[in-house]
Amino acid sequence: MSWAAHDLEPYVIQKELGKRVAFVPLLIGSYAPDLSSKWFVYGITVVGVKLKADNPAQFHRGWPGVGFTHSLTFGLVIGLLLYAIFRNEVVAYSFVIGQWAHALTDTGDTVGTMLFFPFTDHLFSVGAWAYAGQTGRYTDAGAYFSGLGFVWDGVFVVWALLSWRVITRGYFRTTVMAADPFWNWAGRYLSETTLVALYRVSYFYGIARWTAWLIWAHVARSFAFDLHWGGPGWVPRVNARELNAAASCRCPGCCSMKPRLGFYGAVAVCAWAKGHSGSVRDVLRAAPKRSRARRKRRALKKQ
Amino acid sequence: MRQDGSPSDLREGLATGRGELTLYVAAGVVYVAIGVNFPEFLFSWVVAAGYLLLCVVALPAIRRRLTR
């Protein structure tokens, strides 16, 4: 899991894609995988009753559990639902981009994510920092900000600071508002200063929280830094191989693949490709004509 | 000013939004100080949003009204 990257990813994506993405669905997509699950991973007490998953890592990332929220397919399904509701493709694919960024970022820890669920429930993990959600949120925070996790978040903090243009008022007015229908709707009820502050919340939250947790872990408390791969070594961590069905698999994507689902997936992809083959062929046929026309225009300009 | 509405360089950006930047940085410093002492404060996005709106929208508006 990441503690600040999910807050800052939407801003760096916004910087790269400009008016081609809508910010609010991008942000919701970036938060979506953890929205329904984080509280049950760490546990909460409601009217004296402690609610917590028996196996937090399995619940959060695996199957059975809500690990499907960290799959690429989940992003696509919700994106299609959004398209069916709003009939706005920018809103739909902005959500998909945000959710995919989250799912891919979370492969960095030792548990990883079921990227290709339901075709396989295998957890794909880079294993750079320890997954310690089962230890409770304070130990998890201490561990995350003592291992490579905080370095990864630091990359996003620096990247977000370098993308400072996206949080300026002029950029918000010209680019963000133009691409995202939410802000025009909200603008009927709220002042521009409030809208800009709301737009900047996650930027503020990501950078301030990263700084605060880092100080908390190493100044207020004394968690030991351990920047080894998969560290810190002092925290009990969960590994993907403990949850994966095919633990000894050399080719993880294939070995725990459910053959029937894999077959259905292949049929769906073939059907889609066949349905689009005509239009793809048309595009390919038109391409040389277009480039010829472009060359002609350039030659005319030079003259 | 660039086509996307943002300032052409950092100097121009600071010149146009220095007051606003000071407000956000001050809010950030206080947020970090509270968070380090009471880490529970750092867990909620909603709390952060409420805090930021209070610091950069509500308090300056109240101050403007009082000094008018």
Q: Note whether A216 contacts B52, CB cutoff 8 Å.
A: no
Contact list, B36 vs chain A (CB under 8 Å)? 212, 215-216, 219-220
Across the A:B interface, residue pairs with CB atoms under 8 Å apart total 97
Give the separation between CA A103 and CA A68, rounded to whole angstroms.
10
Q: Burial-class residue A276 by CB neighbours within 10 Å (0-12, 13-18, 19+).
A: exposed
| DSSP letter (8 states) at residue A131 | B
Q: Is residue B4 part of a domain?
A: no
Give the separation between CA A56 and CA A35, rounded to whole angstroms.
15
Q: Are residues A82 and A183 in the same domain?
A: yes
Q: Is residue B59 part of a domain?
A: yes
Q: Are residues A168 and A208 in the same domain?
A: yes
Tell me the backbone φ, ψ of residue A214, rounded to 5 degrees. Answer: -65, -45
Q: What is the pTM of this model?
A: 0.84
**B37 CB-near residues (< 8 Å, 6+ apart):** A220
| Total structural domains within chain A | 2
Q: Are residues A41 and A78 in the same domain?
A: yes
* Average pLDDT of chain A to the nearest whole number: 87
Q: Tell me the C-alpha to C-alpha distance, in Å, between residue A217 and each of A139, A144, A155, A213, B40.
A: 9, 9, 19, 6, 13
Residue type, A236: P
Q: Which of A:226-265 have CB within 8 Å of B? A: none
Answer with the one of A219, A237, A255 that is the final residue of a domain: A255
| Total structural domains within chain B | 1
Residue type, A1: M
CB A235 within 8 A of CB A224: no
Work out the pLDDT band at A246, boundaries 50, 70, 90: low
pLDDT of residue A300: 77
pLDDT of residue A81: 97
Which tens digits make up the pLDDT trace of A166-197?
999 999 999 999 999 999 999 999 999 999 99
Q: Are residues A225 and A265 in the same domain?
A: no
Q: Which residue has the higher pLDDT, A277 or A57?
A: A57
Work out the pLDDT band at A237, boundaries 50, 70, 90: very high
Nearest C-alpha in A relative to B43: A209
* Start-end of H helices in A54-111: 56-61, 72-86, 89-105
Q: Note whether A204 contacts B24, CB cutoff 8 Å.
A: yes
Torsion sign (Cα): A137, A142, A143, A149: positive
Q: Is residue B32 part of a domain?
A: yes
Cis omega before residue A232 (within 30°)? yes
The pLDDT of residue B52 is above 60: yes
Residues spanned by the domain of A273: 258-303
pLDDT of residue B3: 78
Residues spanned by the domain of B42: 10-67
Strand A44-46 and strand A49-51: the pairing is: antiparallel
Q: Is residue B51 part of a domain?
A: yes
A119-123 average pLDDT score: 90
Q: Is residue B2 part of a domain?
A: no
ipTM: 0.94
Work out the pLDDT band at B24, boundaries 50, 70, 90: very high
